[in-house]
Chain A
Amino acid sequence: MGMNIQEAMASPLVWHPQTAAEAWQLKQTYGTEGIYTSGGTLLRTQWESGISAIPRHLIDLSTIRGLNDLRIGEAGLVVGGQTSLQSCRSNTLLSRHFPMVSEAIRTIAAPSVRHLATIGGNVASSIGDSIAALLGYDAEVIWFDGTTENRTLLSEWLPEASAAKRGNERLLLSMLLPFEISLEETSVKHDDKDLTMQMKRFGAYHKIGRREAFTPSVVTACMNGVLTHNSVIKQIRIALGGGQTVPVRLEKLEKEINGAAVDGHLLRHVYERIIELFEPREDLFASAAYRKSTAANLIVAELWKAAKGETKPL
């Protein structure tokens, strides 16, 4: 569309490292003049809008061996960072065990972008729409620090990685999604009368954008938990993000409501605490207040639905 001036002006050198160590070395060599890239879809928008300049060196991570598929590891499902969003979306292991991640990926950009963009890029950006869903499953990340591979909870890695300087020191390799313990293995069914021990999983992922598809998010919200038959929360994770906000787990709130029964009082508490605890970044399109109340509405509505017994087991 139109004449592309940026492309005519700059053509960076593109490096194709075979290993994480080579990629790391290239990054150390070129410093701020080199940048890691995989699908490049987010970078392109930044170059075009002038947020960042086209660098002299692009370090293409897609050539690193072993990072472009999903496999079952000892600790869970390992999602290679170089796997395209499209491959993630069509992966049956992911959709069967981590449906909210599949759902989150479905809502990212458009097919043409999802074919190029990678899950690693989405996470490494610190603001990708898959992150809230990954947090909902307590995902970990595997990253390289120049010498060894490290494993860190995504919720702990995000604040570090999103701090600009640290981003360069950590090369994201893969995501690790721990399998959830199946409820059949834990719930003890004495007899039909002891219904209180029967439990169900509930969960939901929502992305609210400025339109119905191909839209930046305004709010992403994910909830994943276990509820007893009499609506007592046995386990819960709440993750919120959207727009330029680095997604967060609301662990304080999770602790407060774990073990409590879902009733009007609790729903009001959850609503009020989300308004207090969630600190979204605002822009000209949506205020922080709107983002807070949207996140709070979505989470309490899902809790209300779960307690009504209308959520299908995930």
Chain B
Amino acid sequence: MLLNRASSGGRWRVRPDGPGKVTGGLAYLTDMTTDQMLYGLVLRSEHPHARILSIHTDKAKKLPGVRAILTYMDIPGLNAFGIAHPDQPVLCEERARYVGDALATVAADTLAAAQQALELIEVDYEVLEVVDDPERALLPGAPQLHPGGNELHRTVFSRGNVDQGFRDCAYIVEETYYTPRQMHTYMETEGGLFVPGEDGRLTVYSPTQHGFMDRMQLSRILAKPQEEIRIVSSPIGGSFGGKDELNVQPYGALLAMQTGRPIKIHNSRWESVRAGLKRHPMKITMKTGIDAAGKLMAHQVSIISDTGPYSTLGAEVLNFATEHVIGPYQYEHLDVKGVSVFTNNGMSGEFRGFGGNQAIFALEGQMDRLAEMAGMDPWVFRKLNMRQSDDLGPFDQPIAMTDGAKQVWEAIAKCPLWMEKQQLARMSHSGDEPWIKTGIGAAFTMHGAGLGVGIPDPAGGRLALAADGKIEAVFGYEEFGQGLLASLEQMLMEQFGFGAKDIRMIIGDTDVVPDSGSTTASRATAMMWKSLQKLKAPFSGQLLQRAAAILNRRVEQLRLAEGGIKGRSEEALLLSYKELAAAAGEPIRCETSFSFPTSSTERVGAHYMYTYSAVVVKVEVNTLTGRARVLQQYHVVAAGPVINPQGYLGQIEGGSSMALGFTLLEESIMEKGHYITRNLDSYLVPTIEDQRGLVEVEAIEQLPEGDDYGPRGIGEVGSVTLAPAIAAAIRQASGKWATKLPVEPSFLQETPFFLGKG
């Protein structure tokens, strides 16, 4: 089904958080202020790599209006954070490893005083050699950034014998692919309000993708029991993975506890660029061979990932990339190696696609090159080598079986845009502007959802009838623009029969919500769906039983409806939810908790549930300037039932617009560990002018009979296949294979044909 307003009918709804967002009426957490609040700022390292000889704060402390200046000596608990492995200092003691490293934090009455105080803090550095190249970082003699060396993580996966496999190949493609350090570029930069309570508790109003993880990490830093910390984490003005890890929270929390006053911190864009996470730049080398019939014989991959100074989820991103360079294809022989390397460049970390974007650009590039070499249609070539529905996953692990791969493949094969490819005359010198050349390309993937084997991945939620008669849906997730609230509302209406006005949704507040796990890894909607499935019978049952008792009717005669309880085949309201809530009795409340389904394998990070997706794009290259434009996109996504059509479409369109930036525009340029692109006037994201073309999304909803996993994740798949599809389209248009992203205009520029040669 093509997803759009017309095909969605009454399911196309205005999202509940929409009006507040488009009118500007909604207050984000970083918009909050309070009486008696102080301003917090962070002093960050001048150098990407330096030994800290001393930090003197005496002069700064004497400045009027300055209330606190904290250094590493003032941290009561663990001076480190990191979701997977806490190795990033909250405040550096001996050494700074990147330009975002924090040395001191200041609270003052005014922002100006705080800024002046930062300037008065005296730091003596001994500048150290900068490790800015992950390959050089692995050479003997390179400065070592951590006690364990410069390797954060290595991955290996192999099967058969690739050397033997290559000997049997008729065609072999060897290529190296490079992907950029992309920035999330959320509209709302990191920040928050940190309020100490009279009872000794601390309330943190600060965006994050997993409130309970922040609470645990802050508890470690503050040496304060988790119960004494409340994290309010939603609504968020965009995150895309970038606010998953702690950012300013440790400083706000430490300053609030130290001064006993509320602290406001809100990064400028400059500071956000300097300190914040980016997508891992990767260099992926692949050697892939096929036999004379086009069957994949051997696939050898080497991934080198620049993880920056500290861990955060760098190892997990590499695991994901390792799985996705194998992808949906079957090989006789496999040999995949990956390494994630510490450098003094910017912090790399979690970002929508999570290593899949880089992996799939390389893998799909290989498929297109091999097909061309063998003289085969690239889509037919993929079919020949694609997994069957009952095949094991990329790591030879059991996975939830669906026909997704085949369904997506077929939908692309018969879509009009793909059929148009055959008709495009390559390099025709006709028309008014013969230097403009057009091509069409496509790419395919299977994208894993959930955190994978070996990583705690809790899920769950709660439904209750509140005293005021509202149906309360309570989840530990965060709304960062993805449409989580709209999806939850729609599920409650469609699955239970409630009206929008009957519902109160409560999310992102650790004092109130159960731990539903992180709002990451394309998992939240699927886990809400599963929770509601588990809660449906008990919660509906309790409501109806209570109503039956009040109304003196049999439960089977009643149903849940908009506004309250109705008779099974009657339209009249028999009892409102308010009346139901007012009736005496035990509170009506149901809770569920479970874990994201995982594969029965030992392989850490291996996934169990996958979304299959592909995209066809039409691209125009102006060879006078070398600039490429995406004219049209056709996405096919097999992810089970569409929960919220508008949200689904928004996720695919939004993901693909980030991917367009990744492919054609975006790169955080660094020189010797310093950012060169330090603001949005030099780091360019796509504007609406860059993505004007038609975007169509076909959703394949069908799941195998008996599959009770429900909707698969769609938060990331829109962003992972576009780059290789654009590269394939550029190949058809201009005859060039792009191997480095973003594609450089100078690479695609040509001298006009009418100048002839010489």
Contact = CB atoms under 8 A, between A and B. Distances in A.
B546 to A, nearest CB: 50
Contact of B625 (A3, A5, A208): A208
A9 B115 contact: yes
B268 A2 contact: yes
B746 A2 contact: no
Given A3-B39, A297-B625, A48 B749 contact: no
A264 B687 contact: no
A159 B272 CA distance: 38
B388 interface: no
Contact of A211 (B267, B689, B746): B689
Contact of B112 (A2, A9, A45, A271): A9
Contact of A294 (B625, B669, B682): B625
A268 interface: yes
B751 interface: yes
A264 B115 contact: no
Interface in B582-629: 624-627, 629
B635 interface: no
Contacts of B271: 2
B189 A2 contact: yes
Given A1-B269, A9-B115, A49-B678, A290 B690 contact: no
Contacts of A293: 749, 751
A290 B746 contact: yes
A2 B269 contact: yes
A297 B115 contact: no
B755 A267 contact: yes
Contact of A284 (B625, B676, B684): B676
B490 to A, nearest CB: 32
Given A45-B681, A298-B625, A290 B745 contact: yes
B679 interface: yes
Contacts, number: 113
A230 interface: no
Contacts of B111: 3, 5, 8
A212 B629 contact: yes
B571 interface: no
Interface string B38-67: 010100000000000000000000000000
A30 interface: no
Contact of A290 (B265, B684, B749): B749
Contacts of B687: 211-214
A213 B689 contact: yes
Interface in A252-271: 264, 267-268, 271
A304 interface: yes
Contacts of B678: 49
A48 B624 contact: no
> Among A271, A285, A297, A310, which residue has the most Cβ atoms of chain B within 10 A?
A297
A304 B751 contact: no
Contacts of A211: 665, 684, 686-687, 689-690
B755 A3 contact: no
A48 B189 contact: no
B434 to A, nearest CB: 9
B269 A268 contact: no
A85 to B, nearest CB: 17
B268 A3 contact: yes
Nearest to A2: B268
A298 B679 contact: no
A268 B690 contact: no
Contacts of B475: none
A183 interface: no
A294 B754 contact: no
A188 interface: no
Contacts of A310: 432
A304 B41 CA distance: 58
A290 B751 CA distance: 11
B266 A2 contact: yes
A260 B115 CA distance: 64
A1 B189 contact: yes
A294 B624 contact: yes
Interface in A299-314: 300-301, 304-305, 310
A268 B752 CA distance: 10
Contacts of A212: 629, 687, 689-690
Contact of A215 (B187, B684, B754): B684
B435 interface: yes
Given A293-B751, A294-B624, A5 B432 contact: no
Nearest to A298: B624
Nearest to B624: A297
A202 to B, nearest CB: 14
Nearest to B665: A211
A76 interface: no
B110 interface: yes
B100 interface: no
Contacts of A99: none
B242 interface: no
Interface in A269-302: 271, 284-287, 289-290, 293-294, 297-298, 300-301
A119 to B, nearest CB: 21
A297 B749 contact: yes
Contacts of B188: 1
Contacts of B517: none
B756 interface: yes
Interface in A1-38: 1-5, 8-9
Interface string B250-272: 00000000000000111111111
Given A267-B755, A268-B756, A297-B752, A49 B679 contact: yes
B191 interface: yes
B12 to A, nearest CB: 29
B681 A2 contact: no
Contacts of B39: 3
Contacts of A268: 755-756
A8 B665 contact: no
A40 interface: no
A297 B629 CA distance: 18
A1 B269 CA distance: 7
B679 A48 contact: yes
A301 B431 CA distance: 13
Nearest to B756: A264
Contacts of B684: 210-211, 215
B627 A208 contact: yes
A287 B752 contact: no
A304 B752 contact: yes
Contact of B115 (A5, A208, A215): A5
A264 B754 contact: yes
Contacts of A290: 626, 745-746, 749
A132 to B, nearest CB: 15
A211 B684 CA distance: 7
Contacts of B624: 294, 297-298, 301
Contacts of B681: 45, 49, 216
Interface in B652-671: 665, 669, 671
> Among A3, A48, A49, which residue has the most Cβ atoms of chain B within 10 A?
A3
Nearest to B688: A213
A8 B115 CA distance: 9
B354 to A, nearest CB: 26
A301 B751 CA distance: 10
Given A211-B687, A212-B689, A298-B625, A5 B268 contact: yes
Given A1-B188, A264-B755, A294-B749, 7 more contacts: A9-B116, A213-B687, A268-B756, A284-B676, A297-B751, A297-B752, A301-B624
| CB-CB nearest 5 A-B residue pairs | A213-B689, A212-B689, A2-B268, A297-B624, A8-B111
20 contacts: A1-B189, A2-B267, A3-B39, A5-B41, A8-B110, A8-B115, A9-B116, A211-B686, A212-B629, A212-B690, A216-B682, A219-B625, A271-B755, A284-B671, A290-B626, A294-B749, A297-B435, A297-B625, A300-B754, A301-B624
Interface of A: 1-5, 8-9, 45, 48-49, 208, 210-216, 219, 264, 267-268, 271, 284-287, 289-290, 293-294, 297-298, 300-301, 304-305, 310
